[in-house]
Amino acid sequence: MIKSRLTSKAQTTIPQAVRTALNLQDGDEIQYDLEGDRAILRKAWRAPADDPFSAFVEWDTEADRKAYAGL
């Protein structure tokens, strides 16, 4: 189990092991998915800047990306 501490300003440091596992770099965005009493942290997927459908975030889930990957 990997832990980090929350500061009085509601900030935390993402532990190195997590940054490495998610391949997080400076400027990357992270996404929090809430499932009951759990929060799942993941590297946010970024659509290419020239993608006209990048504004349709309601279809931006891992399941959607897998389903439409071959199209």
Q: Is residue 8 part of a domain?
A: no
Q: Is residue 42 part of a domain?
A: yes
- Tens digit of each residue's pLDDT (9 = 90 or more) over 10-69: 999 999 999 999 999 988 899 999 999 999 999 987 766 666 666 666 767 788 878 888
Distance CA 31, CA 42 (A): 5
| CA neighbor of 18 nearest in space, from 39, 34, 47, 37 | 39
- If phi > 0 it is left, if psi is from -120 to 50 it is alpha, else beta; for residue 57 that is alpha
Q: Is residue 58 part of a domain?
A: yes
Q: Is the pTM of this model over 0.95?
A: no
Report how many domains make up the chain: 1
pLDDT for the residue numbered 36: 94
Q: How many CA atoms lie within 13 A of 18 on its CB side?
A: 13
Helix-, strand-, coil-residue percentages of the chain, each rounded to 5: 20, 15, 60
